[in-house]
Chains A and B, each alone.
Chain A
Amino acid sequence: MSTSKYFPARLNDKRRRCSKAQVKEILDKIKSDGRKLLFEDEVKRLLALNGIAVTPCEVAHNEDQAVQLAAKFGYPSVLKVRSVFYTHKSDCGGVKLNLPDENGVRMAFREIRAAVAEQEPEACITVQPMAGAGTEVIIGVTTDNHFGKVIMFGLGGVFTEIFEDVTFRLIPITRKDAFEMLESVKGSMLLEGYRGKPPADRESLVEALLKVSKLVEDNEEIKELDLNPVVVYENGLLVLDGRGTLS
């Protein structure tokens, strides 16, 4: 059992080829559940199938399962509520970060269940390892009334929330479009590293943008995706959270 944070270098990337059938299976399952909302673990599976690095994320139905999963992925651990009633997970107390050990996981599991008791007392909870720090960015997809499928890129936190420093492109995008997206946000120099912070792996970000574009191009029914945050390291990146909707 490790107690260091999760980085993409540790990801055992077997260069799995994107399996269209597996993607379809996930989307069909959601549709057959009568859901529009894609849970975080589902978004991450879609991304992983398309070669985008994510923190592993699995569903626990009870406390013991959560503990087993946390041990499997390594500590520190992260627990998040998985519910159609709580789509903004952290607003309702449904996210617990940096849990150091089994005790922490058990406490967090109970706290989250208590926080969502009103709407869904038996809510499932996802477990994943705590990722290391890097440069936070956001990748989004929306379906615009006028243009159709559009991909968005922005820097994380205040850059997107307060300064609205984001950029859009029509899907599908080219490699050149993806590079220009990185450059066309005002805070783009943050990706180059500053004050001792190492530069972010721009190439991996370009790859991720291209793969998200392709995923949406190939699967018309994906209406929205919100990958937030995506953490970019000196080598590689990780999608730490995500949600989506189907049309």
Chain B
Amino acid sequence: MKKDLHPLFYPRSAAVLGAGADPERVGFNIFESIVYGGFKGPLYPIHPKLKNILGYDVYPSLDKVPGPVDVAVIALNQFSTVDVLEECARCGVKGILSIAGGFGEVGTEGVKLENKLAERANELGIPLIGPNTLGFINDDGNFYATFYPLRLIKGGVSVISQSGGMGLTIMQKALDEMMGMNKWIGVGNRAALEFSDYLAYLGDDPATRVIGVFMEGSEDALKFVKLIREICLKKPVVVFKAGQTKESDYMAMTHTGSLAGPYRLYRDILKQNGAIVVDTVEELVACCKALSLSQLPEGKRVGVLTHTAGPSIVAADYMLQLGCELPKYAPETYQRVRDVIGQNPPVVLKNPLDAAGLGFPALTYGRIADAVLGDPSMDIMMAIYCLHKNWRFPSREIIDVRNKWNKPAVAYYVSTVGDSAIDREMLQKEGVPLYISAREAARAVYALYEYKQILSSQAQ
């Protein structure tokens, strides 16, 4: 049965139970985050004694609030969290975020309490996120219900994370990468809502174009991968499954079963069912960014253009390992390159095409890029350039070439995050993802091809 999570992610009004005025405490931070997140609806802090927090009237209890409450953010301790559920139901609450720890993660008593929490929430028919979570964010609805306040860049990538800390890592990397995000969910202990519930919701969510997942493991795995199989035809699902060592002991099985441990099982089965599987946060963000910005290539043939050999060798090496091809350029392409830079140019006429010193000026770089992406044997271009004090990045030229040939391009600039910020914005606005690491750029190129493959094979 599909659970209706819409009122939870797009509340018209919200209350924060346990809101406080002390910046040291979770209760203040989550309230402040919702305020500064720009939530437009009525917002009610609930506290027995306080009168005012950040200019908002405080109410002593949920039933004293003057209007309806769609979402109750519960920042109380674990015992009070369970106690307050009935009141939430009486007040017509449509969704709950439960922040407190002290549940299933702390032993038998905690498990009992968590079961009680989940059972009551399910009986009352109220979807509940958590407990033991940093919260969730819906940038699309300006609802930043997390006690780690930050602002995301608007976009189409939504993330489900089993870990708060890894979820933050993803968001911070996304900010560095200027990857636009839509929703972020810290699933916490998954007492009442499972991975598959969130995945199903994001699969149907029109604002989410790409789904990224960080997971450690879940008893819900079968349902989860079956859903991926359906959703991957509508939007890409990128999964980072943690725990590659065999120490994880959930699978005390026979010889056959315990051979490779759960990681390989997850990896293979996720791929079988249409997920793009990655091994690091960097790769997760690299893939999600490319998939949310770029058109897909027709195939896996990559034309690489550079003016510096090393980075192109490293990127090419990684792309080849992943499964890309770097075919030879057509003879006409070499002729076109000679037309640009002379009949006997001091460049290496092969793929990667190293324009060396002649590639420094952006205009020349652009004319060579035109030959590279125009080559009929190339499906996608990786354009490499090094940051320089006096020479500008060829971003405009890369965009023009991409537009002219209507084939995807990925830019890899050897640069700092800050020095490439203006160009990152310019390129990504036009659908060309920019990276400053060879591995990430290469992974992104392959992810675009992988998703093209998923669409054609899963559709059969």
- With A144-B265, A170-B269 already in contact, the answer to whether A226 and B221 are too (CB < 8 A) is no
Contacts of B273 in A (CB 8 A): 170
Decide if A169 touches B256 in the complex (CB within 8 Å): no
Interface check B310, CB cutoff 8 A: no
Decide if A167 touches B254 in the complex (CB within 8 Å): no
Interface check B251, CB cutoff 8 A: yes
Interface check A15, CB cutoff 8 A: no
Decide if A164 touches B257 in the complex (CB within 8 Å): no
Decide if B217 touches A164 in the complex (CB within 8 Å): no
Which of A52-60, A147-155, A187-195 lies at the interface?
A: A147-155
Interface check B204, CB cutoff 8 A: no
Binary B-proximity of A148-166 (CB < 8 A = 1, otherwise 0): 1010101000001000101
Decide if B259 touches A146 in the complex (CB within 8 Å): no
Number of interchain pairs (Cβ within 8 Å): 77
Instruction: Tell me the chain B residues, 419-460 only, with Cβ under 8 Å from chain A.
Output: 457, 460
Contacts of A160 in B (CB 8 A): 259
* Complex alpha-carbon distance, A168 and B262, angstroms: 10
Decide if A142 touches B257 in the complex (CB within 8 Å): yes
Decide if B272 touches A169 in the complex (CB within 8 Å): yes
* Complex alpha-carbon distance, A136 and B353, angstroms: 44
Interface check A145, CB cutoff 8 A: yes
Decide if B256 touches A142 in the complex (CB within 8 Å): yes
Decide if B254 touches A168 in the complex (CB within 8 Å): no
* Complex alpha-carbon distance, A146 and B217, angstroms: 8
Count class of interface residues, chain B: 20 to 34
Q: How far is the CB of B401 from chain A (nearest CB, A)?
A: 35
Interface check A129, CB cutoff 8 A: no
Decide if A145 touches B251 in the complex (CB within 8 Å): yes
* Complex alpha-carbon distance, A142 and B222, angstroms: 14
Q: How far is the CB of B213 from chain A (nearest CB, A)?
A: 15
* Complex alpha-carbon distance, A177 and B220, angstroms: 22
Q: Which of B250, B259, B268 contacts A145 (CB 8 A)?
A: B250
Binary B-proximity of A117-145 (CB < 8 A = 1, otherwise 0): 00000000000000000000010111111
Which residues of B are interface residues toward A (Cβ below 8 A)? 217-222, 225, 250-251, 253-257, 259-260, 262, 264-265, 268-269, 272-273, 457, 460
Given contacts A226-B254, A226-B256, 7 further A-B contacts (CB under 8 A): A146-B220, A154-B259, A164-B259, A167-B264, A168-B269, A170-B225, A176-B457
CB-based closest 6 A-B pairs: A140-B256, A142-B257, A146-B221, A168-B268, A168-B265, A170-B269
